[in-house]
Amino acid sequence: MHLKKTKLAGIISLLLCSNAIAVTISAPSISIPTDGRFGPFVSAMDTSSAATATTSTAIYTNTYGQPFTFDIAAPWTYNEYCQYNDDVCKLLWEGKEGGDGKDGLYAWRSNILNTYNANYIPETEYEILGFDSNVITVAESTKVTAINSTGEKIGNITNNTDFTRRGFYEDKSLQAVDFTSDGTNNGGFSSVYDFTKVSLPGYDKTLIVGQSSVNWPNANGSSGRFNACFNAGPDYNDRNDYDDLYYCPGFNLQASYWVSDDTDNVKTFSSTWINGLSGHEDDATYIANAYAINTSGFAVGFSTQNIYSNDSGGRARATIFKPTVAAGALSYAMSEITQPKTDAGSDYNDVIRDTVAIDITDNIYNTTTKVFDPATVSTNASQGFIVVGNRTFEAVQNRSRVTEFYTYDVASGTVRYPFKANPIKGATSQVSKINNDGLIVGWRDARGETSPREDGSARFQSAFIYDYKTQKTAYLDDLYCGSLGTNEEVRYRFANAISISDNNSGSYTIVANGFDYKNVENYKNRVGSTPVVLTMTLTADEIKDLSTVSQCPIKADEDYERSGAGMGWFILLPTMMLLFRRFKR
């Protein structure tokens, strides 16, 4: 599936030289969305050391205006009540007044409820820059989640006749567990997020990791949750709980993997969820997932813990899956990464909502030399792989419910919260990727964004880079603005850094969702922007000198002191609309 071609480029290359960034438009121009679609967003990047030479990036656009982080297979991304001012919450649900409604969550949710009754409208369109984009032509909706240097790709597809989601590897469909004897599992459900060649003594294969449906949720063991998620009538007025999204994705899912030369057979990392639960206790939906796997076979993700005895009582808990090889057979043991939860105090279940592990390094961190070294070729679980993840708060922090990123050393158990209470208690940050030199990217509250979110407004987010070795960090916006020449005008904002490549002759490439403001006045006033995908290449020397000093222009009357709770919704509107990133020519 290709996006409509236009003359305007949708990718801006920002290349850091030794003393300045050269801003160029990609040539030849590549696809950008047609009028009225949302995006473009980044979904995957070739992170190999060769990536900086010709960076291959998967992008996509949405039919509806849901946040790009939403994933129906991961309730932690969407399953919480709206915390903002009531006018803002109404805007999020209904969309902009006088519009077509597609920028509201109600339209997106209604479409999901049509998934299994043949009225589903394709949600995503994608393009891979650098490789052929045709994958599976029957797909109604496709998102690529990982690509490598040879052009191999994995991702997820949805159609409105056979299944609500199916993972794929190249042109192969990745089947889910067939947990019914009569074929009445509604096609099952599988998702995939990462793949790599795992090299261990006695085992050398490419593994694809993600999740698979394994049974029906709830003690009654029926498909009622499936129907409530994918095949029911929406309630326009039921915006307070986003129309019962806690029933999604309608199955109990287990973290799973497929071998690239045996994709018809799915294997689960574990047969149970956190605390050995079977998936039929109380009323929660039980979900587990593997977001990433390294070359030593260690995988990370999350698994459900049943906290409250009700429909929405399940909570994600960060999980690591550790491999064992015996007689050429691979097996796994699951354990929870508990610190992001327990560090919140003895009442952590009331303070922390969800914890997830997002990525893990191939290399191991040497605490003496403070460098990353290649791992030993073994299943030794005492090696210093570094895991990155996020935790979301149930309890209000300084009048805000927030997300906070963390790092975890597998060998020592050391956990860091780099932006905890920085610059204020209740600051938000979210991680998306760590490379094999310990360089971490994601997004956090932009400079000056300290207004309360509870009964207030959203905060603008800004992409960051954080060096695990030196604990230095910088906003990508500051790196960009600080490197412009005297006659060069600021026009781009980096909003969400999605991925970063490994070292390629002393340089690294970052890919991010961003905005093109065309000129500095638009930039300062945050008006007149076009969504774009941005890349930035940094040298190792530049990373050593990361600075926290503000470099970008602001409005003359902007003092970074804001009060969110009392602001009228007409002031909040521009803030919220930026979350949707709708493209208009």
As to burial, measured by CB atoms within 10 angstroms (0-12 exposed, 13-18 middle, 19+ buried), residue 362 is: middle
Residue-wise pLDDT for 216-227, tens only, equals 987 666 888 899
Please tell me what DSSP assigns to residue 543. H
- Enumerate helices (H) and strands (E) in the chain, giving the number of each: 9, 30
- Residue 2 falls within a domain, yes or no? no
Burial pattern 536-545, b for ≥16 Cβ within 10 A else e, equals: bbbeeebbee
Percent of the residues in the chain that have a pLDDT greater than 90, as a whole number: 52
Cis peptide before 249, with omega less than 30 degrees from 0? Answer: yes
Residues 175 and 162: their CA atoms lie apart, in Å, by 12
Residue-level pLDDT at 14: 33
Taking Cα atoms as reference points, which of 518, 512, 420, 428 lies closest to residue 465? 512
- Residue 6 falls within a domain, yes or no? no
Residue 7: Cβ within 10 Å count: 6
Angle between helices 569-580 and 86-94 (to 10 degrees): 40
- Residue 4 falls within a domain, yes or no? no
Amino acid at 4: K
Residue-level pLDDT at 421: 87
Q: Among 394-403, 487-496, 499-508, whose mean pLDDT is lowest?
A: 394-403
What's the gap between Cα 60 and its chain centre? Answer: 13
Is the model more confident about 413 or about 572?
413
Angle between helices 86-94 and 105-113 (to 10 degrees): 50
Question: 582 falls in which pLDDT band (50, 70, 90)?
Answer: low
Q: What is the mean pLDDT of residues 385-413?
A: 93
Residues 249 and 267: their CA atoms lie apart, in Å, by 20
pLDDT score of 23 more than 70: no
Residue-wise pLDDT for 245-281, tens only, equals 888 999 999 999 999 999 999 999 999 999 998 888 8
pLDDT score of 12 more than 60: no
Residue-level pLDDT at 21: 39
User: What total of structural domains would you count in the chain?
Assistant: 1
- Residue 189 falls within a domain, yes or no? yes
- Residue 585 falls within a domain, yes or no? no
Is the model more confident about 575 or about 486?
486
How confident is the prediction for the chain on average, in pLDDT?
84
Residues contacting residue 5 through CB under 8 Å, at least 6 positions apart: 31
The DSSP H or E segment spanning 575 is helix 569-580
pLDDT score of 341 more than 90: yes
- Residue 510 falls within a domain, yes or no? yes
Residue-wise pLDDT for 509-554, tens only, equals 999 999 999 999 999 999 999 888 998 989 998 898 887 788 888 8
Taking Cα atoms as reference points, which of 239, 235, 238 lies closest to residue 84? 239
Is the model more confident about 297 or about 243?
297
Beta bridge partners of 503: none
Q: Among 14-28, 242-256, 376-390, whose mean pLDDT is lowest?
A: 14-28
Residue-level pLDDT at 50: 63
* Parent domain of 514: 11-580
Residue-level pLDDT at 223: 85
Residues 146 and 155: their CA atoms lie apart, in Å, by 7
Residue 477: Cβ within 10 Å count: 23
CA dihedral 522, 525, 528, 533 (to 10 degrees): 80
Residues contacting residue 322 through CB under 8 Å, at least 6 positions apart: 298, 332, 333, 334, 335, 379, 381
- Residue 266 falls within a domain, yes or no? yes
pLDDT score of 555 more than 50: yes
Burial pattern 495-523, b for ≥16 Cβ within 10 A else e, equals: bbbbbbbbebeebbbbbbbbbbbeeeebb
The single residue listed with the structure tokens 């490598």 is 148
Question: 20 falls in which pLDDT band (50, 70, 90)?
Answer: very low
**Start-to-end CA span in the chain (Å):** 22
Residue-level pLDDT at 131: 53
Residue-level pLDDT at 356: 98
CB–CB of 209/330 below 8 Å?
Answer: no
- Residue 437 falls within a domain, yes or no? yes
Is the dihedral angle over the CA atoms 236, 239, 240, 243 positive or is it negative? positive
Residues contacting residue 354 through CB under 8 Å, at least 6 positions apart: 76, 302, 315, 316, 317, 391, 392
Most confidently modeled range among 281-290, 395-404, 481-490, 544-553: 281-290
Please tell me what DSSP assigns to residue 290. E
Q: Among 128-137, 177-186, 283-292, whose mean pLDDT is lowest?
A: 128-137
What's the gap between Cα 242 and its chain centre? Answer: 20
Please report the DSSP string for 410-432 in residue order.
TTT--EE-TTTTSSSTT--EEEE
Residue-wise pLDDT for 305-321, tens only, equals 998 877 778 899 999 99
Backbone angles phi, psi at 274, to 5 degrees: -50, 140
